[in-house]
Amino acid sequence: MLGKANGYQHLWVDATGTPEAGNATLTWLNNQRFYTYRMLLPEGAKIILAESGANDPNFNLRREPVLIQRLSLSSATDATFVSVLEPHGFYDPAGETVTDSKSCIAALRHFRVTDADIVVLELTDGRTVTLAVADEADAAKVHQAVVDGKALGWTGHVGRFDERTAGEARQEVASGQRP
C-alpha cells in the first residue's frame, strides 16, 4: 500500500527506484507494440511503479498499472518534469519476430529560457528534434531563444525544429507537417 488517504490507499507498490539525474526509461510491450517512456527527472526524484486495487472492500477496482514520478517538497522548491512516450517496434507472435524493440531516442534534454521551455530529443540516427513551448499562448507573438549556441525563432505558442544531421541548420516545421 502506498498511503492511507487521498486515493493512495488503493495502490499496491510493485517497485520503487531513484534513477540518476538525467534520462530514465521504462519500456513495455502492449498489443504487439513496444512503448518507451523516457523521463528527465530532477535531482532526488523517485519513481514508483504501482498497481490499483489495494484495500478495495468491494473488490471492484480494476487492476491498472501506475507510474508515479515524485519529488519531496523538502528536496526542491521549483522542479520541471519532462517526459516523452514513444511507440516503436512490433512483436509478431505468429512469426516469433521482433522489429525495432529499442527506442529511437538517444537522449532527452530540457532548457528553461526567459519565456519558454525548450525540449531537445536526440535521436539514435544523429538527428535532433527541438520543441519550444512559450509561456504565452498568443498565436501572433514572436519568440526567440538560444540553445546550444543556436538561435531559434518561432511564432505562436509552440515551435518545432528538425535537424537532420549534427551540422545542418535547424528549420521550423509548421504544425501538422512531418519532416
> What is the full per-residue pLDDT of the chain (179 aa) written as tens digits?
677 888 788 899 999 998 876 678 999 999 999 999 999 988 888 999 999 888 887 888 888 899 999 887 776 778 888 999 999 999 999 999 999 999 999 999 999 999 999 999 999 999 999 999 999 999 999 999 999 888 999 999 999 999 886 555 555 555 444 44
The residues near 75 (Cβ < 8 Å, ≥ 6 apart) are: 42, 43, 44, 45
What are the boundaries of each domain within the chain?
8-91, 105-172
Query: Strands 105-113 and 97-99: what pairing?
Result: unpaired
Q: What is the pTM of this model?
A: 0.81
CA distance 93 to 161: 38
CA distance 46 to 60: 29
Share of the chain residues as helix, strand and coil, in percent rounded to the nearest 5: 0, 55, 45
User: Are the beta carbons of 47 and 68 closer than 8 angstroms?
Assistant: yes
Residue pLDDT, tens place only, 118-163: 999 999 999 999 999 999 999 999 999 999 888 999 999 999 999 8
